[in-house]
Amino acid sequence: MPNSFNAIALEQQAAYRSRLEQCPTLTSDYSFVNLWSWAQEYELTWAWQGELVWIRQQKPEVRLWAPIGPWDRIDWQQALMRSGFETDTFVRIPEKLMHLWRQQLKAHVSIEDERGQWDYLYAVDELVELRGNRFHKKKNLVSQFKKKYDFRYQPFEAALIDRAVAMQQDWCTWRDCEAVDALAAENNAIAKVFDTWDRLTGLTGGALLVDDQMVAYTIAETLPDGTLLIHFEKGNPEYKGVYQAINQMFLAQAGHTASVVNREQDLGDDGLRRAKLSYLPVDFHKKYQVVLK
């Protein structure tokens, strides 16, 4: 059985990323920045045992996430069936690990698709170039933004945090974050990232400024496999095309080292799903719920 679960710790960031790098699939849930920023909202803790890091959530209910480490080298019959966890339900299990568990544990697992947790993967060059009829509306909105506003694009850095915080406060006023639990939780996660910006590995991002006022920002992370992972993207709705513009300009400036960008899940939200599908994903990181019998 794993050692006791403890709080996600910044001091173990490098060690965790080295374990993450050994996973055959790197999904958005398991980036250190994601665990760190959402730890309070899900009451996330972890336990280190041998080659694996076990992850547990306690809100809104007790669930285990996928253990992080070299999945192909693990005897899952021994690791799982003798674990003694307080729950037998695992969520956010990437497809590769699901297949390993089904192969090794056979009838001892029950598997269900978690469509709302699938990661959306896009080709960076497609979202930068926006070629053809498929992206005509997106490209048109980017062009309108560029023509209408005297803007400046700037890579995100610590010096921009105060302006990003001010814009985030305005955004939460526009969207009434206090009345929507999911938006309030996200606002807390964003604040945690800003508070520890200089201590987090792999962070990058971009911002759009008009008249020296921030009108959009995106916060991303470079995963150990080189994938760009977009964590947060916010824009002032008064500026037409601002979301399309920050997406295209950030990838144009920062995406030259990556071929794939991961824009996380839709969480089963119909509007968010339509928005993510409209950018024409080239693939998904599929995830599943697995219950040990």
CB atoms within 10 A of CB 137: 12
Shared-domain flag, residues 44 and 149: no
Q: Are 36 and 196 in contact (CB under 8 A)?
A: yes
Predicted pLDDT of residue 130: 97
Shared-domain flag, residues 85 and 128: no
Shared-domain flag, residues 178 and 93: no
Shared-domain flag, residues 105 and 139: no
Mean pLDDT, the chain, as a whole number? 95
**Residue 112 — φ and ψ, nearest 5°?**
-130, 140
Predicted pLDDT of residue 250: 97
Q: Where residue 40 sits, what CATH number does that domain have? A: 3.40.630.30
Residue 1, pLDDT above cutoff 70: no
Q: What is the pTM of this model?
A: 0.95
Q: Are 35 and 24 in contact (CB under 8 A)?
A: no
Predicted pLDDT of residue 17: 97
140 found inside a domain: yes
Beta-bridge mates of residue 261: 122, 228
Distance CA 284, CA 28 (A): 11
Predicted pLDDT of residue 234: 97
How many domains does the chain fold into? 2
The full length of the chain comes to 293
Give residue 221's pLDDT band: very low, low, confident or very high (50, 70, 90): very high
Shared-domain flag, residues 165 and 38: no
Angle, to 10 degrees, between the axis of helix 181-195 and the axis of helix 161-175? Answer: 180
Domain span at 183: 120-264
Distance CA 160, CA 246 (A): 15
Q: What is the residue-wise DSSP string for 269-282?
A: -HHHHHHHHTT--S
The three-state secondary structure class of 247 is helix
